Each structure stands twice: as structure tokens, then as C-alpha cells.
């Protein structure tokens, strides 16, 4: 059986099942992706920290016909992630691994010292080390099978250093480049890697942002767009195009000009 994203399914409990792992599936984009993929013949392995929300998402996915396993595990727990991922892969070979879990960065700002150290460290640990903990345990198995698809959720904030979220921007730039390098490393071994860089998506995370979010997409629309890009085997999925263009254009401007624009925008945000 050919999968939506064009690969041959692994044979598990079902005659032909596709196995998708999603971290951060208890909320926002991860939950929307889980709901999008949920269907008969699909095995979903979902992870998050909040048991009640994870159970709600799992129940919704089961109602759509998917077989669902869920796990409360923190992505910063390397041993816990390794154990969970290997167990799930042994139950049924993973076809698509989506490293989506992450936290936002605005709360890390402390006006006196730039960023609150503890939160800044947490952002890097969850958004960067958490991605490594999600991706690395299964790489030898994917390479051994010469198939599989790894998707890593970055952000358009990873294209430009925003004064309101230094650690968040750094974390998202890190995982975008990590995905790019991994893609080039694993392509000869038959494993796909896609970097996903959304703009603003309507989720509990973006609901905390204290400014207007241009081209805000509903989470289900973002999930559909991401799934379509993954199915086409795209190397990078970046949306919406308007914000992508704006960010690319800003990066081409002389540093002094873009610095002035972003600093003024940040100060206006603090005073409004
Ligand atoms: N929303 C946006 O505008 C936007 C834009 C660009 C990129 N993104 C990226 O999209 C991804 C999903 O964000 P979202 O907007 O859907 O946010 P969200 O609604 O807050 O969901 C974040 C998810 O990540 C999980 N998570 C956070 N820290 C974790 C940890 N230490 N261990 C395990 N799971 C953890 C949360 O689990 P629990 O709730 O169970 O703790 C939750 O399921 C993030 O990587 C984010 O950076 C979002």
C-alpha cells in the first residue's frame, strides 16, 4: 500500500498500517496534526506532558478510526524518550516522526537583564535538546530500514533575531539548520527530513503573545498544509508565504535599518 506521503507502509498489526509519532500532541498544532492523520489503518503514537489533554486528543483520534497509544513523557527526559520511542518502533516500525513539542519565548523577557536565565535555558532545553531526544533514538533504525520521514517543527522566528524572544529565535534557528543538515546526511540512506517553519498559528501558545499576529492561521489549516507538504516530500515547509517573504526581505536589508525597525517595534510593544 502506498502511503499519503508516498512510501510503502510497514506491516504491523494491520495488513498495511502507517505509524506516525507526534510529540506535543496534547495541544495546538500537535493535536491538530494528530486529528488530521487519524483514520482507519493509521497508528498514532502521541506524547505530551498533560495526561488529561492527551487522553482527549487520543479519544478524538480513536473516534476517527485510528489506533492510538499515548505517553506522558517530557522531551527533555532523554532516557524516557529513548525508551518510549524504541518501544513504539518495536511495536510497529515508525513511518513518520514529527518533533513538534516546544514552548514559546516571550515570557523569557526581563527588561533589566535581557532575558530571565531560567526560562531562557528551559527554552533551549525543550526546543533544541528535546528535538534531539526525539529524533536521535530512531535514526539507526530508520537508516537500517532505508525508509522513514522525520519532520522537525521550527518557526519563521528562526529566520530573524527578534528582540522580544532571543532564546526562542535561537532555538528555532538551531533546529532548522539541524533539520537541513540531517536532510542532506540521511537522503543517501533513504530517510527524508523536513523542516517546518510556521508563522503565527492559532494555539494556546500564540494566545499568550501580546501583539497583533498578522496572517494568523487556524491550527487545522496549518496541519492540513503541513501534511500536504510532507506528502509531497518537501524539504522545507514555510508558511504563510506573505510572512515568509517579509522575513526573507528583512534579512536582506542593511543590519542598521532592520535593527532600527525591530527595536522600535519591540519598544512600542512594551509601551502599549
Ligand atoms: N503557535 C504558533 O504561532 C507557532 C508558530 C511557529 C512555530 N510554532 C511551534 O509549533 C510547535 C507547537 O506549538 P503550539 O503553538 O501548538 O503550542 P502549544 O499549544 O503550547 O503546544 C505545545 C505542545 O508542546 C508540548 N510540550 C511543551 N513542552 C514540553 C516538554 N518539555 N515535554 C513534552 N512536551 C512538551 C505541550 O505539551 P503539554 O501541554 O502536555 O505540556 C504541547 O502539547 C512548537 O514547537 C512551537 O514552537 C508555533
2 in a domain, yes or no?
A: no
Confidence of residue 105 (pLDDT cuts 50, 70, 90): confident
Would the CB of 240 count as within 6 Å of ligand 1? no
β strands within 27-78, DSSP E:
42-48, 67-72
Q: Is position 4 within any domain?
A: no
**Quick one: how far is CA 96 from the chain centroid?**
12
Tally of domains in the chain: 1
Confidence of residue 230 (pLDDT cuts 50, 70, 90): very high
Residue 228 lies inside a defined structural domain of this protein: yes
Please tell me the pTM assigned to this model. 0.93
Return the residue matching grid coordinates 502506498.
2
Q: What is the pLDDT of residue 103?
A: 96
Q: Is residue 134 part of a domain?
A: yes
Decide if 162 is inside a domain.
yes
Instruction: Give the structural domain span for 263.
Output: 18-271
Report the chain's mean pLDDT, rounded to a whole number: 91
pLDDT at 110: 58
Q: Would residue 11 count as lying in a domain?
A: no
Q: Tell me the CATH number at 80.
A: 3.40.50.720
For the segment 32-61, what is each residue's pLDDT rounded down to a tens digit?
A: 999 999 999 999 999 999 999 999 999 999
For the segment 86-102, the average pLDDT, to the nearest whole number, is 98
pLDDT more than 90, % of the chain: 79
Catalytic residue among 37, 70, 168, 178: 168
Q: β-strand 42-48 against 114-115: which pairing, if any?
A: unpaired
Is 133 within the bounds of a domain? yes
Whether 8 is covered by a domain: the verdict is no
Residue 6 scores a pLDDT above 50:
no
Residue 115 has what pLDDT? 64
- Atom 19 of ligand 1, nearest CA residue: 28
70 is catalytic: no
Class of residue 92 by CB neighbours under 10 A (exposed 0-12, middle 13-18, buried 19+) = buried
The protein residue whose alpha carbon is closest to atom 32 in ligand 1 is 74
Amino acid at each position: 500500500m502506498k502511503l499519503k506521503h508516498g512510501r510503502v507502509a510497514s506491516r504491523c498489526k494491520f495488513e498495511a498500517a502507517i505509524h506516525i509519532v507526534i510529540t506535543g500532541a496534547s495541544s495546538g498544532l500537535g493535536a491538530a496534526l494528530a486529528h488530521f492523520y487519524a483514520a482507519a489503518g493509521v497508528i498514532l503514537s502521541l506524547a505530551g506532558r498533560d495526561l488529561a489533554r492527551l487522553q482527549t486528543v487520543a479519544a478524538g483520534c480513536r473516534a476517527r478510526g485510528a489506533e492510538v497509544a499515548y505517553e506522558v513523557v517530557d522531551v527533555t527526559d532523554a532516557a524516557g524518550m529513548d525508551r518510549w520511542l524504541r518501544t513504539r518502533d518495536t511495536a510497529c516500525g515508525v513511518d513518520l516522526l514529527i518533533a513538534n513539542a516546544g514552548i514559546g519565548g516571550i515570557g523569557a523577557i526581563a527588561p533589566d537583564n535581557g532575558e530571565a536565565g531560567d526560562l531562557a535555558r528551559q527554552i533551549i532545553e525543550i526546543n533544541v535538546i528535546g528535538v534531539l531526544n526525539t529524533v536521535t533514538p530512531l535514526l539507526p533504525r530508520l537508516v537500517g530500514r532505508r525508509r522513514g520521514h522525520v519532520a522537525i517543527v521550527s518557526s519563521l522566528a528562526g529566520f530573524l533575531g527578534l528582540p522580544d524572544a532571543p532564546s526562542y529565535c535561537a532555538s528555532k534557528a538551531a533546529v532548522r539548520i539541524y533539520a537541513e543538515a540531517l536532510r542532506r546526511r540521511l537522503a543517501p540512506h533513504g530517510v527524508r527530513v523536513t523542516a517546518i517553519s510556521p508563522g503565527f498559528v492559532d494555539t494556546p501558545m500564540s494566545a499568550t503573545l501580546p501583539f497583533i499576529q498578522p496572517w494568523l492561521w487556524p491550527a487545522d489549516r496549518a496541519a492540513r498544509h503541513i501534511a500536504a507538504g510532507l506528502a509531497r516530500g518537501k524539504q522545507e515547509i514555510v508558511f504563510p508565504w506573505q510572512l515568509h517573504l517579509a522575513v526573507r526581505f528583512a534579512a536582506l536589508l542593511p543590519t542598521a535599518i532592520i535593527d532600527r525597525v525591530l527595536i522600535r517595534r519591540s519598544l512600542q510593544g512594551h509601551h502599549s
